[in-house]
């Protein structure tokens, strides 16, 4: 019976391993539940008293107990979407260049540099924004914009520098490496046969990329964009430093604005009365809900796009 103890020892090992990994796996959802519970509990007074005002109110006046978070909600969404509009074409261009067009010698260094951008802490981006981007915008970009397009409400002054535009540009630079890195991996993973088939049918290089490579990787590319959006929504320090921190819905790209994350970063430490603390917790909960929604939509988009994509045929004439 030499095999018996060894077997049971193996079983014990398996069992321990099961328990340890199972605990680890359970810890993550447990933390999420805990997080939501804590925020919901702390936010409850604000939500039960003035949920409607929180979602639709324009006035955030702590001393009079008015907590309308609409400016922060709009600022968060606008700055992130603008950043996405700026970053996505750039990121796709860079990813296509690296995966399809760049000479082999250039691929590794370019990829390395882009990945490096993702490793820079956001405070460093914020400092760069404060000392380089914002002064540049204030002195060399905003005055000509106001001079040329001043008639449009979108470009009305005064040119403070810290503004929705500054935040969107900085966010675009920050999310660029994420979108680029993921899209590059997606494009590299497109099978060689896909490209060869397109070329064999007489496609030019551009047609091959447009009709065979990009459609194949579509779900992955959408995932990359959504990852960027998720990051932009939650980014705090860098945005706080350049957005101007004003509780008002921006009417122009040059207006200062606010984001939900920035409100929390600025006001939480000195919030002393209960209504204020609770309203801030409600803003935190709202931010959590918005980011979760973005993730759910991303999953759904990826899933929807993947369905027909399996049978897509290259649209080649």
- Count of residues binding another protein (CB under 8 A)? 39
For residue 295, state whether it binds another protein (rule: CB under 8 A): no
Q: Rule CB under 8 A: choose which of 63, 104, 112, 310 binds another protein.
A: 63
User: Which CB sits closer to another protein, 163 or 180?
Assistant: 163
User: Which CB sits closer to another protein, 41 or 299?
Assistant: 41
For residue 21, state whether it binds another protein (rule: CB under 8 A): no
Q: Which residues of 81-108 are buried (b: 16+ CB within 10 A; e: fewer)?
A: ebbbebbbeebbebbbebbbebeeeebe
- The nearest distance, CB 69 to another protein, in angstroms, is 14
For residue 244, state whether it binds another protein (rule: CB under 8 A): yes
For residue 162, state whether it binds another protein (rule: CB under 8 A): yes
Q: What is the 3-state secondary structure (H, E, C) of the chain?
A: CCHHHHHHHHHHHHHHHHHHHHHHHHHHHHHHHHHHHHHHHHHHHHHHHHHHHHHHCCCEEHHHCEECCHHHHHHHHHHHHHHHHHHHHHHHHHHHHHHHHCCHHHHHHHHHHHHHHHCCCHHHHHHHHHHHHHHHHHHHHHHHHHHHHCCCHHHCCCCCCCCHHHHHHHHHHHHHHHHHHHHHHHHHCCCHHHHHHHHHCCCCHHHHHHHHHHHHCHHHHHHHHHHHHHHHHHCCHHHHHHCCCCCCCCCCCCCCCCCHHHHHHHHCCCCCCHHHHHHHHHHHHHHHHHHHHHHHHHHHHHHHHHHHHCCCCCCCC
For residue 195, state whether it binds another protein (rule: CB under 8 A): no
For residue 36, state whether it binds another protein (rule: CB under 8 A): no
Q: Rule CB under 8 A: choose which of 77, 102, 277, 302 binds another protein.
A: 277
For residue 245, state whether it binds another protein (rule: CB under 8 A): yes
For residue 18, state whether it binds another protein (rule: CB under 8 A): no
Site residues (CB under 8 A) for another protein, limited to 72-131:
130
Q: Rule CB under 8 A: choose which of 86, 154, 197, 265 binds another protein.
A: 265
User: Which CB sits closer to another protein, 184 or 276?
Assistant: 276
Q: Rule CB under 8 A: choose which of 92, 256, 260, 279 binds another protein.
A: 256
- The nearest distance, CB 234 to another protein, in angstroms, is 18
- The nearest distance, CB 6 to another protein, in angstroms, is 48
Site residues (CB under 8 A) for another protein, limited to 125-154:
130, 134-135, 138
The residues of the shown chain that bind another protein, judged by CB under 8 A, are 38, 41-42, 44-45, 59-64, 130, 134-135, 138, 157-162, 240, 244-247, 256, 265-267, 269-274, 276-278
């Amino acid at each position: 019976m030499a095999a018996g103890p060894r077997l049971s020892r193996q079983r014990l090992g398996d069992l321990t391993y099961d328990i340890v990994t199972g605990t680890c796996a359970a810890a993550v959802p447990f933390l999420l539940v805990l997080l939501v519970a804590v925020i919901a509990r702390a936010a409850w007074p604000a939500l039960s008293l003035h949920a409607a005002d929180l979602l639709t109110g324009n006035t955030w006046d702590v001393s009079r107990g008015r907590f309308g978070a609409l400016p922060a909600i709009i600022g968060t969404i606008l700055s992130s979407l603008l950043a996405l509009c700026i970053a996505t074409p750039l990121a796709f261009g860079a990813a296509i260049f690296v995966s399809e067009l760049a000479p082999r010698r250039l691929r590794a260094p370019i990829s390395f540099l882009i990945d490096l951008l993702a490793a820079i802490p956001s405070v460093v981006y914020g400092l760069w924004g404060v000392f380089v981007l914002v002064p540049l915008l204030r002195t060399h970009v905003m005055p000509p914009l106001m001079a040329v397009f001043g008639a449009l409400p979108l470009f009305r002054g005064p040119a403070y520098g810290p503004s929705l535009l500054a935040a969107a540009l900085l966010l675009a630079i920050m999310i660029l490496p994420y979108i680029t890195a993921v899209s590059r991996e997606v494009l590299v993973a497109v099978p060689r046969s896909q490209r060869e088939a397109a070329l064999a049918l007489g496609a030019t290089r551009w047609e091959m990329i447009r009709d065979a490579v990009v459609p194949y990787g579509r779900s992955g590319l959408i995932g990359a964009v959504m990852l960027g959006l998720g990051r932009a929504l939650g980014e705090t320090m860098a945005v706080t430093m350049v957005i101007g921190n004003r509780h008002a819905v921006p009417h122009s790209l040059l207006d200062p604005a606010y984001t939900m994350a920035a409100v929390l970063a600025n006001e939480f430490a000195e919030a002393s009365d209960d209504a204020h603390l609770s309203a801030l917790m409600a803003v935190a909960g709202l931010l959590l809900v918005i980011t979760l929604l973005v993730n759910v939509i991303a999953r759904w988009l990826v899933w929807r796009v993947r369905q027909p994509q399996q049978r897509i045929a290259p649209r080649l004439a």
